[in-house]
Amino acid sequence: MSPRRYVGRHTGGRPHDPDTPKMSPPKPPRPASRTVDRRRVKKTALWVGLGACLAFSLAVLIGLVQGSYEMEHPPAGWCQDNSATCVHP
């Protein structure tokens, strides 16, 4: 078979000219900032989530300490009969 008569799948239906280069047109470069932006968003979300967890944990800890103190030192007028720290008015 002669190369001029062969019409293959990759020639687009036209005979291939042996003198033309077989290079495809250059592809435009992909923007690299898209993957960097995703990473930055993920890191920011991670740090915001960790900060929220830390703030919640501190609020719970402060509440527990305050509750413990209030149980040991009840306000005036609130006592149990068998409490050693109870001040009877």
Q: How far apart are CA 7 and CA 15, in angstroms?
A: 5
- Average pLDDT over all residues of the chain: 76
Q: How far apart are CA 50 and CA 66, in angstroms?
A: 24
- Give the predicted TM-score (pTM) of the model: 0.47
Residue range 20-60, pLDDT digits in tens: 666 777 888 776 656 668 888 999 999 999 999 999 999 99
